[in-house]
Structure 1
């Protein structure tokens, strides 16, 4: 067990032993279904506090091969799946929170080098007796380990997009980072599953559409993973019954995100806090800076402020999400700003009608402050 290779499952254990844990383990049925296939690359983009890290820790606890997590998962929905034990604890699992590496380094070169050294350190600690072609080269070292063990890797990358938030205008840094991820993951036989989470969808830098092998599931189109974006109506109703909260009031404040396969999706952080503290409040907003919201609205592309006022009044506004560059700096039209606000959770998107709205009372109260 290392820091990044087959890490301790304590983080997920703490999550499930908390006051409130909503069982989302059936997501593993989907990841199990695409393991070791050409669909084995998944990128999940959601707003802050929508359970991305808990889910990433869940995957690590399930797949990693140095601890037995059968008892941990046996009480949850995934245990009823016919493939539950087939993939349980069967893979060398690498878990990387990119924000951790970013905060410890001064530039993108140092960050990438620290990632490489950290993972290699764990690999050589677990497999010290192998003959390595170049044990300073992460990709070759992973290939050597796979060649000897015939055990593929599950690679989980949390906060994958932090580079694009920190180095907003540094395209060279962005391209070096994309090149690193491509070289690590793309067309590698040692990869059984690559799972990335972040706020933003994958950045496309001209010819550097380096990660085009990924299926992307976002707030615009979460596809078959819609019910795992947040809490569903059924899940929230059960919590309201248990904690004695008024479902209608909770719905007004925290519902509002809607997808084809999940017509009502609630902000999970807000619901959990509401249940724990026994009162309605602006809980998700406390984790996010609405100065950013003001910044984007103050760009005041033609019609933007008028459309915001219309949405505050409860109306829907048409939007074209196709031109968005998947970053926080490239804005050419009002549509680009509105699309970013969808990914940040400040707006809810209607895929069928191609419109946006303010999702609920919690978020609407912040627009009114602005």
Structure 2
């Protein structure tokens, strides 16, 4: 057994994964790989945001095909064991499994990085094929070619995880990125010893030259490729099953199924299916708490990195998205490889690739509360966002003024929006007013669950604020009007019986004991003034 060639590492890691209480069996992806192995010389690259199960899948594939160790004890009880060809493919192949994110702390240059990989692979090949009389100074390509030349029945399945890891390291230059692509091309392209290459990463394969060094790969991205969609991220049915396990084992449940939906859902495959962030789902159920698990490894600065070169181009769209809206966008996933993002297309494309935004039907949106919290943090901490920053930082005062019925302060805060000439504030539609109102109540999300356009009574209310941290806090129903009066908004709340959402629904009455506030906010496009009214129902 070697480090890369026929290693037992993948078997050990995947076996441990299957023992975890919230393991999800996705082994049926192997059924789609069997024909590719039969055909030979196939190349697929599957890209997904981080923490979407790429490494678990790579370990599973390597442990299934590799002849390093009989994995019957792992796979006999999984879905793939029901396939008629299960025994034919299991543990029958030479597998070269390389995790490109396995980097020593001493590595400070590309030369060290790539030399370490080649040296380790050569050692593995020398040990496995002593009769080939391979020299340590040989390249990996030459060594593999010599082995195949001696015996053309010896071919390899390559499982390459985190292929783009090196692109994120501070020591690599643009020329070295090209050298790395050339290394992969030389190792893999048109080589008779290649049976199958299964490669994963975050970035789609970068097309740095007209020749497209890695154009032998068929790429499968989340936004544009329906194939393999079910195997990365958790589907609705899978989360339902995991939640049932949680209910059967947790004695003091603090996580609701609705909470999982709000916090971690919101991504879409190219086929339109909704998927959840798998790491966050597992962590929430395991630790019995809804929290920022996926984004906890990177602060809001990570989001800001993508927009800092052209804040003005995306500022208004960010405001709309923080309001829960989707905005039109042209996504070109290859632009995510750029380190100098300037156009709105480049910025949003990168944010989709890295999982900060969700893409569906030509629009981008913030997928869930876990990401929404990070975007909200950014809006409140970056002065370069201009009016967005100013309004977001008034949100604490806005909530307190609303609870106190201080409509004068509410109106002054809303009128701050007109310190700028941004087109968002022309208020041609209630959409823009909705975005600004959402912004000035940004801090309310710390203590409230805010729902938009929710069915309440006999109509759909603009905003309902459900107390989350303090069930004795005031409940808020908020209605917006353009070129009308706040009194008309309050009257609509009464006429359509929106308060029934708190008063009359079974199960809701016992949850909330605070006052129910009806809040009307209007905007007059002629005099460019806001008017507010607060009434206790």
TM range (shorter): over 0.9
Aligned to 1:121: 123
How many residues get paired? 368
Structure 2 unaligned blocks of 5 or more: 248-254, 379-537
**C-alpha deviation, 1:146, in angstroms:** 2.9
CA separation in 1, counterparts of 2:171 and 2:29? 32
Q: Larger deviation: 144-153 or 49-58? A: 144-153
Q: Larger deviation: 109-118 or 341-350? A: 109-118
Give RMSD over aligned pairs: 2.0
What secondary structure sits across from 1:154 in the alignment? Answer: strand
**C-alpha deviation, 1:240, in angstroms:** 1.1
Are positions 1:3 and 2:6 aligned together? no
The structure with more radius of gyration: 2
TM-score for the superposition, normalised by structure 1: 0.93
Where has structure 1 moved over 6 Å in runs of 4 or more?
none
Are positions 1:300 and 2:302 aligned together? no
**C-alpha deviation, 1:262, in angstroms:** 5.7
Structure 1 unaligned blocks of 5 or more: none
Aligned pairs (5 A) from 1:346-365: 346-350=356-360, 353-365=361-373
**C-alpha deviation, 1:156, in angstroms:** 1.3
What whole-Å deviation, never above 9, does each CA across 1:132-153 have from its counterpart, x for those lacking one? 5886121121122234451311
Given the alignment, which residue of 145, 170, 182 partners 2:185? 182
CA separation in 2, counterparts of 1:316 and 1:102? 42
CA separation in 1, counterparts of 2:208 and 2:276? 33
**C-alpha deviation, 1:129, in angstroms:** 2.0
Note closer, same or farther for the CA distance 1:134–1:274 as it changes in structure 2 (3 Å cut).
closer
Given the alignment, which residue of 29, 32, 53 partners 2:31? 29
Aligned to 2:428: none
**C-alpha deviation, 1:295, in angstroms:** 2.0
Are positions 1:279 and 2:289 aligned together? yes
Tell whether the 8 Å contact from 1:223 to 1:261 is kept in structure 2 after alignment. Answer: yes
Given the alignment, which residue of 330, 342, 347 partners 1:320? 330
CA separation in 2, counterparts of 1:289 and 1:262? 29
Aligned to 2:349: 339
Aligned to 2:197: 194
Tell whether the 8 Å contact from 2:6 to 2:95 is kept in structure 1 after alignment. Answer: yes
CA separation in 1, counterparts of 2:212 and 2:185? 10
**C-alpha deviation, 1:39, in angstroms:** 7.2
What secondary structure sits across from 1:221 in the alignment? Answer: coil
What secondary structure sits across from 1:157 in the alignment? Answer: strand
Tell whether the 8 Å contact from 2:336 to 2:353 is kept in structure 1 after alignment. Answer: no
Given the alignment, which residue of 165, 168, 176 partners 2:168? 165
TM-score for the superposition, normalised by structure 2: 0.65
What secondary structure sits across from 1:203 in the alignment? Answer: coil
What secondary structure sits across from 1:42 in the alignment? Answer: strand
**C-alpha deviation, 1:4, in angstroms:** 1.0
**C-alpha deviation, 1:259, in angstroms:** 2.1
CA separation in 1, counterparts of 2:68 and 2:203? 32
Aligned to 1:270: 280
Aligned pairs (5 A) from 1:196-235: 196-207=199-210, 209-235=212-238
CA separation in 2, counterparts of 1:288 and 1:86? 44
Aligned pairs (5 A) from 1:44-193: 44-101=46-103, 103-132=105-134, 136-149=138-151, 150-166=153-169, 170-193=173-196
Aligned to 2:413: none
**C-alpha deviation, 1:214, in angstroms:** 0.8
CA separation in 2, counterparts of 1:31 and 1:323? 25
What whole-Å deviation, never above 9, does each CA across 1:4-25 have from its counterpart, x for those lacking one? 1111111111111123211011
CA separation in 2, counterparts of 1:168 and 1:300? 26
CA separation in 1, counterparts of 2:136 and 2:280? 48
CA separation in 2, counterparts of 1:314 and 1:168? 39
Are positions 1:239 and 2:242 aligned together? yes
**C-alpha deviation, 1:115, in angstroms:** 1.2
CA separation in 1, counterparts of 2:80 and 2:126? 33
What secondary structure sits across from 1:35 in the alignment? Answer: helix
Tell whether the 8 Å contact from 2:40 to 2:196 is kept in structure 1 after alignment. Answer: no
Q: Larger deviation: 233-242 or 76-85? A: 76-85
Tell whether the 8 Å contact from 2:268 to 2:358 is kept in structure 1 after alignment. Answer: yes
CA separation in 1, counterparts of 2:323 and 2:93? 51
